[in-house]
């Protein structure tokens, strides 16, 4: 099959492209480390649509999730229609599946969206404009070219399909699972401001992104923001084990849309309920009678019936498990995740400041 001919007015873009190739070192290619080769998980980018658009159009542009998951990632009402307009300049969280894999020919392991989004080249498109204007510079044209094995980025044809490798990671941060969220630094934004806005430690932002000088953040720079996610009781054998990474405020459907889970910063414990959708199996209660989401007792001695996964070998079945009160104030004897990670974050913050003080003395 012959490739469609490239656009006729290619000369000017090609000249600019050469210039950009020359300047490529300054492009804001995001560098998300993703050491756990072969791992997959949920990630997201904070996308600001360049033009007036609808949630349905964004879904089609990215095609990385269902409408329900896009709405859930943005904490929008589940009844929002796909034709609803995205408010001007609003940042929309686009959830997608991340895969940590070698970038090719023995290169280092990087995190990239797993073979999506796929962009179809339009007349008069050129790769740098696609990277910058359509995908908000979350990728560089060079990364698109490398991912698609295109030796000459100035030679793409109308109708050609390009995989856009969005940056992401599945790595734990300070011993905890997080949702790696790619954030574009806006004019005037500071590391302390972003840390407060996203609920992460400033020192974590700085070290994770290897920021040499927090005062010298560049507008448009892409940062890896490790959003804390709700802990869950989902078993490691369940298909949604790594995919249900929900930060504060987010919700998502799972178990083939039969279960809806949400995450609130009150408990940072996943709270799941049955959607009672058509064709959904009955959810087994915990300990005989306690229904999914229900709590028995009060205070630290209370127990809650939590979602623990699903399987779909012959038919869909949903599992539940009884969990004790996970509120930080109730956690003792050291087995609990959030207290452990909380103290870890604190330790790292203290060490970071100790190092700073030492440097001042030297």
Ligand X SMILES: *[C@@H]1O[C@H](CO)[C@@H](O)[C@H](O)[C@H]1NC(C)=O
Contact positions toward ligand X, by CB under 6 A? 29, 31, 50-51, 60, 63, 133-134, 262, 264, 267, 271, 273, 287-290, 293, 295-300, 302-304, 312, 315-316, 322, 325, 327, 329-330
Q: Which is nearer to ligand X, 124 or 190 (CB)?
A: 124
CB atoms near residue 198 (< 10 Å): 18
Q: How far is CA 218 from the centre of its chain?
A: 22
Q: Which is nearer to ligand X, 52 or 354 (CB)?
A: 52
Per DSSP, the residues of 62-95 read H-SS-HHHHHHHTT--TT--TTPBPPTT-EEEEE
User: Are 261 and 252 spatial neighbours (Cβ–Cβ below 8 Å)?
Assistant: yes
Residue 60 CB, shortest distance to ligand X, in Å, is 4
Q: Which is nearer to ligand X, 227 or 292 (CB)?
A: 292
Give 231's DSSP letter: B
3-state secondary structure (DSSP) of residue 172: coil
Q: Which is nearer to ligand X, 175 or 260 (CB)?
A: 260
Nearest to 30 by CA among 225, 246, 242, 212: 225
Q: Which is nearer to ligand X, 58 or 173 (CB)?
A: 58
Residue 338 CB, shortest distance to ligand X, in Å, is 13
Residue 350 CB, shortest distance to ligand X, in Å, is 27
3-state secondary structure (DSSP) of residue 132: helix
Q: Which is nearer to ligand X, 175 or 313 (CB)?
A: 313
H helices of the chain, where? 11-23, 55-62, 67-73, 127-129, 141-147, 191-198, 202-208, 337-361
Residue 353 CB, shortest distance to ligand X, in Å, is 25
HEC states along 292-314?
Answer: CCCEECCHHHCEEEEEEEEECCC
Residue 67 CB, shortest distance to ligand X, in Å, is 11
Residue 267 CB, shortest distance to ligand X, in Å, is 6
């Amino acid at each position: 099959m012959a490739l469609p001919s490239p656009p006729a007015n290619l000369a000017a873009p090609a000249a600019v492209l050469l210039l950009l190739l020359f300047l490529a070192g300054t492009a804001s290619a995001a560098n998300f480390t993703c050491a756990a080769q072969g791992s997959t998980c949920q990630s997201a980018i904070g996308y600001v649509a360049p033009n007036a658009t609808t949630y349905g159009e964004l879904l089609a542009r990215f095609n990385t999730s269902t409408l329900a998951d896009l709405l859930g990632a943005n904490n929008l009402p589940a009844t929002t229609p796909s034709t609803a307009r995205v408010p001007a300049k609003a940042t929309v969280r686009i959830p997608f599946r991340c895969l940590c894999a070698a970038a090719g020919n023995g290169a280092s392991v990087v995190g990239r969206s797993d073979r999506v989004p796929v962009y179809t080249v339009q007349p008069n498109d050129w790769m740098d404009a696609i990277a910058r204007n359509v995908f908000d510079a979350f990728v560089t044209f060079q990364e698109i070219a490398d991912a698609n094995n295109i030796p000459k980025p100035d030679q793409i044809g109308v109708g050609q399909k390009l995989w856009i490798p969005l940056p992401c990671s599945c790595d734990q941060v300070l011993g905890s699972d997080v949702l790696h969220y790619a954030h574009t630094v806006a004019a005037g934004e500071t590391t302390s401001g972003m840390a407060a806005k996203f609920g992460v430690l400033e020192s974590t932002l700085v070290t994770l992104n290897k920021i040499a000088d927090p005062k010298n953040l560049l507008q448009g720079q892409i940062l890896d923001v490790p959003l804390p996610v709700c802990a869950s009781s989902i078993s490691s054998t369940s298909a949604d084990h790594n995919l249900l990474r929900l930060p504060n405020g987010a919700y998502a459907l799972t178990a083939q849309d039969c279960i809806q889970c949400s995450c609130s910063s009150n408990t940072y414990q996943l709270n799941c309920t049955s959607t009672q959708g058509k064709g959904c199996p009955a959810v087994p209660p915990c300990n005989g009678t306690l229904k999914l989401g229900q709590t028995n007792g009060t205070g630290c001695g209370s127990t809650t019936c939590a979602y623990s996964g699903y399987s779909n070998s012959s038919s869909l079945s949903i599992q539940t498990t009884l969990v004790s009160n996970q509120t930080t104030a109730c956690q003792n004897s050291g087995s609990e995740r959030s207290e452990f990670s909380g103290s870890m974050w604190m330790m790292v913050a203290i060490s970071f400041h100790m190092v700073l003080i030492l440097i001042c003395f030297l």
